[in-house]
Structure 1
Amino acid sequence: MCIICIVLSINPLSPQTCTEGFAYDRRARQCIDVDECRTLPDACRGDMGCVNQNGGYLPDTPALYPRVRSTAQCILGYTLAEDGTCNDIDECETNSHHCNPTQVCINTSGGYTCSCTEGYWLIGGQCQDIDECRYGYCQQLCANAPGSYSCSCNPGFILNPDSRTCQDVDECEDEPCSHGCFNTYGSFMCNCDEGFELAADGTTCIDLDECSFSEFLCQHRCVNTPGSFSCICPPGYYVFEDGRSCEDFNECDTGNNTCTTAQVCFNFQGGYTCLDPLQCRPPYVEVSDNQCMCSAENPACRDKAFTILYRHMDLSSGRSVPADIFQMQATTRYPGAFYIFQIKSGNDGREFYMRQTSNVSATLVLSRPIKGPKQVVLDLEMVTVNNVINFRGSSIIRLTIFVSEHPF
């Protein structure tokens, strides 16, 4: 009867030679235990059973038979346990490895390997940090850290869920502009409605004071309004179709005046006046609604003008000079007669002079600008001289000029 059936060998191990009780496994590249209870016929005889052991086998004997510990050897990297099995030695746990302090020990079956943690690579036996920023791990901003890195984005972008790439932020969704908003790549632009301009903060729209651009924007007065402007004209004028010019409001044509039926309404730029009926002072007598005559048969008329014709005109304040403003001419011609035209009275400021344009006509010229409102009355005299019959006489046009307050 076989009580202990163990065969030991002390032959040294070779790459493909194992101690007895072990066989070389090419896939595992190591010696593994052989189950003699299955491979050997009648390994234990009699009524005893067979119990496989690491490197051998034992009969399953009754209690009165002692068990004998196997003395089989384990390959390098393994240690024999009390139950006779070979257990892997964890060199990393037992600190029996030879890894560099900068390295990480990783236990393997029958051995160990030295490696580096994520974010480091092995160079010359040392674990050195990988500068991920150098290799473009991030799309925009990158911050390297020992064994790691972090990505961030420029203003106007947010980090995608991949923690590497960035996407544009549509700032217009938050309505940052007071008027219009236009999204751009990484930013946005604000624009303003017509009549407004962008403030220094780049988002607020403030009213544009068009009236401050030019004093010629309106002919009279400019009034700024939110986003626009309007022109205002003085009393006696209305704003023309262009929205800027002032046109005279003819109170005489519209009937918007206070003249009586006996009076005559005379319109001038920016206003009107009511002319009373003509009253000729003696020795003059009325010959028409605007003319007085002094008869030659009347001794009182000897040194006076033969006729006085009343005329009216308007003139804009500050009109540019020189300007021809009124024409005077003889209506009756006598053989051998010649005519002299002159300003007899009313030209105290020397604003006017007469320019003779022919033998029988002359023009009143404005030589200096006149500021209104003002009323000027000129006596324009035409002297008729006839040496053949030894005659000298004169006629007067009494011209009343209404100078407006404004230059339009």
Structure 2
Amino acid sequence: MLIISPQTCTEGFAYDRGSRRCIDEDECRTQPDVCRGDMQCVNQNGGYLCLPRRLYDQPYRSEIPARPEATAQCLLGYTPAEDGSCDDIDECETNSHHCNPTQVCINTAGGYTCSCTEGYWLIGGQCQDIDECRYGYCQQLCANVPGSYSCSCNPGFILNPDSRTCQDVDECEDEPCTHGCFNTYGSFMCNCDEGFELASDGTSCIDLDECSFSEFLCQHRCVNTPGSFSCVCPPGYYVYEDGRSCEDINECDTGNNTCTTAQVCFNFQGGNTCLDALQCHSPYVEVSDNQCMCSAENPACRDKPFTILYRHMDLSSGRSVPADIFQMQATTRYPGAFYIFQIKSGNEGREFYMRQTSNVSATLVLSRPIKGPRELVLDLEMVTVNNVINFRGSSIIRLTVFVSEHPF
């Protein structure tokens, strides 16, 4: 039985709220004097008939005892039987009904009624198809067909056994994603592990090239790996704890150097060098392991620096400028004396200059960036002038600067 709203019942039917369906309306009871004159109202399914009262009130056969071989007088819709009774005429079987081709004939006692098959309703005497899709019979998709309907579901859903409602399909059970899968209502979403991104097909994952994101990801060189990346450092360095910075390997401490026992290992950024034992050339004599002296009593020492002190330092390639890199000061002070600090040699490229910071000290300043690897030897001179005793002398610091290949 079709379940519909009160506004959809056709003429001859009324909506019953208890059963929520359309039931036949008894016009003979609800409409007084629907049949006039000597006519009797007879209710039918979806309508009524007006029959002559004399026919409606007559018994099925005559009250007059029938003589043998007598024919019974039967009401309309009945036919005499051999035993003198009245048998109902099946108008539907004898095709003596007046239902139109769209209707279905239903035999009744003494008559028949015209009705419609399931999926149709009677409108204006004609059986017309009920559009079940119009009344929301299906939860999602509906296709109306003559006398019936068919439900289906949107992609991502399957039809329930009731053939009307739909339930979500868990696509993740079929493992459509190469990495992770998240089921959603009617669909699904793929996600990727860290270091990967979703491809254009929406299901597979491709590696992210983290090294292409920034040139500052690693201090030296970035190497992409599946789902990640790694930083590598040049020879002479190791990757620091942060995994990105490069730290110098002190080959002099680790013993990983080629220096002999007679040499001194000097470490600098990214490498090391072996320093030979100090050799002072005449007229200089060695006074310590890094200092040569020329005695004032020696006539050959006239006009020569009194002492030469040997020092070494390292410098990163491309270091920002200006930068104070070395301090120089007088260790012995004489009354009435003053001091002049200058670069005597090794500054042909004018990368350095001396800035006097007091009357007894000065600072070596890097004024231009230097690209390595490179080795420079600077003679830093301190001139002592004492006009009281008419004295002028000098001392030299021979500074060897090892410039690294890399800026770290």
TM-score, length of structure 2 as denominator length: 0.81
Secondary structure at 1:16's aligned position in 2? helix
- For the 8 Å contact 2:376–2:401, the answer to whether it is kept is yes
Higher mean C-alpha displacement, 195-204 vs 334-343? 195-204
Match of 2:93 in 1: 93
Offset of residue 162 of structure 1 = 0.5
Q: CA deviation at 1:229?
A: 1.6
Q: Distance in 2 between matches of 1:336 and 1:318?
A: 42
Q: In the alignment, what sits opposite 1:77? A: 77
Aligned length: 392
**1:275 Cα deviation (Å)?**
0.3
- Output one character per residue of 1:137-195: Cα deviation in whole Å (capped at 9) or x when no partner: 11111122222211111111100011000111111111111122222221222222222
Secondary structure, counterpart of 2:397 in structure 1: strand
List per-residue Cα deviations over 1:312-346 (Å, max 9, x = no partner).
00011111111110000011111111111111111
Select between 222-231 and 317-326 the one with higher mean Cα deviation.
222-231
CA contact (8 A) 1:53 1:85 kept: no
Aligned to 1:38: 29
SS of structure 1 residue aligned to 2:173: helix
Change (3 A) 1:93 1:105: same
Distance 1:19 1:257 in 2: 106
Cα distance, 1:18 vs structure 2 = 39
Tell whether the 8 Å contact from 1:54 to 1:84 is kept in structure 2 after alignment.
no
Asked if the contact 1:51/1:60 (under 8 Å) is kept, the reply is no
CA 1:16/1:307 → structure 2, altered by over 3 Å: closer, same or farther? closer
For 1:220 and 1:48, locate their aligned partners in 2 and report how far apart those are by CA, in whole Å: 112
Q: CA deviation at 1:236?
A: 0.8
CA gap 1:236/1:30 in 2 versus in 1, 3 angstroms: closer
1:230-282 C-alpha deviation (Å, 9 max, x unpaired): 11111111111111111111110111111000000000011100001111222
Deviation, 1:14, is: 42
Structure 2: state its 5+ residue gaps. 49-54, 60-66
Going from structure 1 to structure 2, the CA distance change for 1:27 and 1:382 (only over 3 Å counts) comes to closer
Q: 1:24 to 1:80 in 2, by over 3 A?
A: farther
Change (3 A) 1:153 1:303: same
**Cα drift, residue 292 of structure 1:** 1.3
CA distance in 2, matches of 1:374, 1:32: 107
Fraction of identical pairs, as percent: 91
1: CA distance, partners of 2:230 / 2:8: 111
Determine if contact 2:71/2:80 at 8 Å carries over to the other structure.
no
Take 2:10 and 2:142, find their aligned partners in 1: how far apart are those partners? Answer: 58
Looking at structure 2, the residues matched to 345 and 17 of structure 1 have their Cα atoms a distance apart, in angstroms, of 112
CA shift for structure 1 position 80? 3.2
Question: Residues 399, 53 of structure 1: CA spacing in aligned structure 2 closer, same or farther, 3 A cutoff?
Answer: closer
Distance 1:387 1:49, change over 3 A: closer
In structure 2, the CA distance between the partners of 1:52 and 1:189, relative to structure 1 (3 Å rule), is closer
Closer, same or farther in 2 for the Cα pair 1:16/1:163, shift >3 Å?
closer
Q: Report if the CA contact (8 A) 1:54-1:72 is conserved.
A: no
Residues 196 and 43 of structure 1: is their aligned pair in 2 closer, same or farther, counting only changes over 3 Å? closer
Whether the 8 Å contact between 2:10 and 2:121 is mirrored in structure 1 is no
Deviation at 1:351, TM superposition (A): 1.1
Structure 1 contact 54–86 (Cα < 8 Å) conserved: no
SS of the residue 2:41 aligns to: strand
Is contact 2:25–2:46 with CA below 8 Å preserved after alignment? yes
After TM superposition, give the deviation of residue 402 of structure 1 in Å.
0.5
What is the rounded CA distance, in whole Å, between the counterparts of 1:188 and 1:328 in structure 2?
73
Q: Distance in 2 between matches of 1:14 and 1:388?
A: 127
Q: Give the conservation status (yes or no) of the 8 Å contact 1:48–1:60.
A: no
Task: Give the 3 Å change call, closer, same or farther, for CA 145–183 of structure 1 in structure 2.
Answer: same
Equivalent position of 1:60 in the other structure: 57
The 8 Å contact of residues 50 and 60 in structure 1, kept in 2 or not, is answered as no
Deviations 1:16-47 (A, max 9, x none): 99999999999999999999999999999999
Moved more, 145-154 or 89-98: 89-98
Quick one: structure 1 residues 308 and 103, their matched pair in 2 at CA, closer, same or farther if it must change by over 3 Å?
same
Range with bigger deviation, 102-111 or 153-162: 102-111
Structure 1 pair 86–293 and aligned structure 2 pair: CA distance change class (3 A):
same
Q: What per-residue deviation string (whole Å, max 9, x for no partner) do you get for residues 194-241 of structure 1?
A: 222222222212222222222112111111222222111111111111
**TM value normalised by structure 1:** 0.81
State how far apart, in whole Å, the 2-side matches of 1:388 and 1:44 are.
156
Kept in 2: contact 1:317–1:372 (CA 8 A): yes
Distance 1:196 1:53, change over 3 A: closer
Q: State how far apart, in whole Å, the 1-side matches of 2:163 and 2:141 are.
A: 11
Q: Distance in 2 between matches of 1:317 and 1:356?
A: 25
- Is the Cα contact below 8 Å between 2:10 and 2:123 reproduced in 1? no
- Which deviates further from its counterpart, 21-30 or 353-362? 21-30
Out of 135-144 and 90-99, give the one that drifted further.
90-99
Rounded Cα–Cα distance in structure 2 between residues aligned with 1:321 and 1:130: 91
Cα distance in 2 for partners of 1:118, 1:154 equals 27
Q: How far apart are 1:103 and its partner, in Å?
A: 2.0
Change (3 A) 1:74 1:61: closer
Structure 1 alignment gaps of length 5 or more: 1-12
**1:24–1:31 CA contact under 8 A, matched in 2:** yes
User: Secondary structure at the residue paired with 1:93?
Assistant: helix
SS of the residue 2:7 aligns to:
coil
What is the alpha-carbon distance in structure 1 between the residues aligned to residue 254 and residue 292 of structure 2?
31
Going from structure 1 to structure 2, the CA distance change for 1:237 and 1:14 (only over 3 Å counts) comes to closer
The structure-2 alpha-carbon separation of the partners of 1:56 and 1:318, relative to structure 1 and needing over 3 Å to count, comes to closer
Give the deviation of 1:359 after TM superposition.
0.2
Q: Is the 8 A contact 2:118 2:147 kept in 1?
A: yes
